[in-house]
Structure 1
Amino acid sequence: MAAVARPRFNESGIELFSRKIGIFLFVVKDPAKRNSRNRTAGTMETKPIQSVTKDITRACLIEKVLPAIRAKWPASNSNNPTFLQQDNARPHIGNNDLEFIEAARQDGFDIRLCFQPSNSPDLNVLNLCFFREIQSFQYQKAPKNVDELVEAVERSFDEMKAKQLNHVFLTLQSCMIEVMKDSGSNNYKVPHLNKNGLEREENLPLQLHCDIGTVNKDLALFQQ
């Protein structure tokens, strides 16, 4: 499970907010039951959790993700609602999970769960950047066991730069606009915004704007 937010910078371009909340692995450490060519019996082995259930997901959110958000979130915004978006995988807990809601309201925070629209992978920041980076890094390193795979995943997360993540949030906005243009469909291509060029020219926008005609058209569809 990985959690990221959009980076924040001051007018001089200095990063103000650690945008990478954390990456949390679904693995366990178990002693090896038998001797083998690579290790002796009793050696601790890293093994993936074979079935990630709602209970496991809830525990990860409450015990790991929420504390990481509280530790890294800008104090000035801790009282504002913070939305933690999940995709639609079956092990994810519902928005109204009482145990999560109670934990999410601690220390003055207001953290709420929400789901991305179904069948819309481009509306997931992790799909747009991090998961692709993991795959690329994994192919380069060719891990031979779970420990090496864990190292590759964590290193990929650590090496993701704020500039790259900021660009991806703009791509997310462009995908939202394309979805609206297509009346809610996903029959579009991810736009290319030349973000690197705009950044060199110091013209990279903070947010993209959607044509009011498109907004009104989609509002009419909702009303129908």
Structure 2
Amino acid sequence: MTDEERVEVYHALLERSNNGKLLKNSTREVSGLLDVPLQRVQNIWKRAKNTGYGEVVDVSHRRKGKCGRKKKQIDWLKVVDIPLHRRTTIRSLAAALGMSPTVVFRSLKKGQLRRHSNAIKPLIKEDNKKTRVKFCLSMLNKNALPHQPKFVDMYNVVHIDEKWFYMTKKTQTYYLLPSEEDPLRTCQSKSYISKVMFLAAMARPRYDGEGNETFSGKIGIFPFVTLQKAQRRSCNREGGTMELKPMVSIKREDIKRFLIEKVLPRIYERWPAEDFGKTIFIQQDNAKTHVTVNDEEFQVAALQQGLDIQLMCQPPNSPDLNILDLGYFRAIQALQHHVCPRTVEDLVTAVEEAYDEYPPNLVNRVFLTLQSCMIEIMKIGGGNNYKIPHLKKDTLEREGLLPVQMDCDPNLVEEAMNYVAC
């Protein structure tokens, strides 16, 4: 009998009792009414009567945990002694423990084990760590009170970087009905999937006192493509048709040309008018193809636009100090994969639309995440073995409490300055 059926028997007997005494033939009557053996009915009533004064009557069966095959006790602390390369799959971990993969899978579901995706991070040496800490300290507001250090608002910094966007992924997950056939995707070579490199430029969005957007922060995303004539006729187009071709080799001259001809005019076109005359910093990484900080040709072009723009480089091996690598590229790549491009033109259009559709308020959150990462970098002395903290930005923004600048612990700032000085 289930516990519910036993309770039903008890209530039926209770209705046929008077001050704890059953009426004549009550147990037989309930036995026939509910089709339960007479002895079982009598045992249920006996258990109810033996309940102490003030205690809750419990007539559920007592077999739970006392019958059936007992669970085998496993010491999961043994997992720590197994090398990581033998813990990459459930099957390999089960073989190392000498047990069934099903047992390991059930333990994973119960939370006794956890799944972790591990990504390779750049190797950072001691000098590199100090450079990272020094960069984080340079982002602190010099005008803030000494006992209340906080980061600058970063409104005058434009982050730029390049990224390859692929026509499709090597492996793709789909959700299908059981009756549907598996989709077939073909390619001439998986090692040469069509791709286009883009140069993205992003600043921090701005809002007025009422929370209305005044500047999206989106400077632009520019594909490295050229227009070429088709050399011969095919089933897709006639010979001589102009078509987009991706640039497969990007050099420093190409980056400089894009900065001068595309990024600078776009900054001049979209930058808030109230900030004209103030210094604007373009932050880039230390790739060999990037323009040097004191490049004369770039400085002359910036002055011709009437802007005070300076190039700056983030520390080496520090993609976590650029908002594009920190979260923005991954976000627009996910949006781009919602479209199925067939040509280079389709891919360029899909990436540009994903760039335009991405909400500016999420870009603003990435800047706060960047500041929180700087705090973590100072805590561990410039390393990159930290977890990105969760700030509950969605909740704070919904309540109107999302900060513009992250506060920093004065003791942490002092420790970081001493670390850089030594």
Please report the TM-score for the alignment, with normalisation by the length of structure 1. Answer: 0.96
Aligned partner of 2:340 in structure 1 is: 142
Write out the 4+ residue segments of structure 1 that deviate beyond 3 Å after TM superposition: none
Work out whether residues 293 and 311 of structure 2, in 8 Å CA contact, stay in contact via their aligned partners in 1: yes
Q: Tell me which of 57, 61, 68 is aligned to 2:255.
A: 57
Alignment match of 2:367 (pick from 156, 161, 169): 169
1:72 aligns with 2:270: yes
Q: Percent identity?
A: 51
Aligned to 2:228: 30
After superposition, the C-alpha distances for 1:161-193 in whole angstroms (9 at most, x for unaligned) are 111111111111111111111111111111111
2:286 partner letter: N
1:128 aligns with 2:326: yes
CA distance in 2, matches of 1:140, 1:108: 40
For the Cα contact (< 8 Å) 2:332–2:358, is it kept in 1? no
Supply the distance in 1 between the matched residues of 2:223 and 2:305 (Cα, whole angstroms). Answer: 25
Q: Which amino acid aligns with 2:380?
A: D
1:157 is aligned to 355
Tell me what 1:202 maps to: 400
- Counterpart of 2:215? 17
CA distance in 2, matches of 1:129, 1:34: 42
Structure with higher RCO (Cα < 8 A, 6+ apart): 2
- 1:8 aligns with 206
Bigger Cα displacement from structure 2, 143-152 vs 58-67: 143-152
Distance in 2, Cα, partners of 1:185 & 1:78: 37
Asked whether the 8 Å contact 1:18–1:72 carries over to 2, the reply is no
Residues in 2 aligned to 1:185 and 1:125: alpha-carbon distance in whole angstroms: 18
Q: Aligned residue for 2:151?
A: none
**Aligned partners of 2:244 and 2:325: how far apart in 1?**
26
User: What secondary structure, in the 3-state scheme, does the structure 2 residue paired with 1:140 have?
Assistant: coil
Residue ranges of structure 1 left out of the alignment (5+ in a row): none
CA distance in 2, matches of 1:130, 1:46: 26
Mapped partners of 2:277, 2:376: distance in 1: 32
Q: What is the one-letter code of the residue matched to 2:255? A: T
Give the equivalent residue in structure 2 for 1:219: 417
Contact 2:264–2:305 under 8 Å retained in 1: no
CA contact (8 A) 1:130 1:157 kept: no
Letter in 2 for 1:201: E
Aligned in 2, Cα 1:218/1:18: closer, same or farther, shift over 3 Å? same
Residue range with higher mean Cα deviation, 130-139 or 59-68: 130-139
1:191 to 365, 372, 389: 389
After superposition, the C-alpha distances for 1:31-53 in whole angstroms (9 at most, x for unaligned) are 11111121111111111111111
1:115 aligned residue: 313
1:132 alignment partner, SS class: helix
Q: Runs of 5+ in structure 2 lacking a partner?
A: 1-198
Distance 1:211 1:140 in 2: 42
Matched AA of 1:151: T
2:293 is aligned with 1:95:
yes
Kindly indicate whether residue 243 of structure 2 is the aligned counterpart of residue 45 of structure 1: yes
* Offset of residue 107 of structure 1: 4.3
- Aligned residues between the structures: 224
| Aligned counterparts of 2:411 and 2:303: Cα–Cα separation in 1 | 39
Cα distance in 2, alignment partners of residues 205 and 195 from structure 1: 9
Aligned CA distance change for structure 1 residues 57 and 220 (closer, same or farther; 3 Å): same
Q: Residue type of the partner of 1:34?
A: R
Rg larger in 1 or in 2?
2
The structure in which a higher percent of residues are helix is: 1
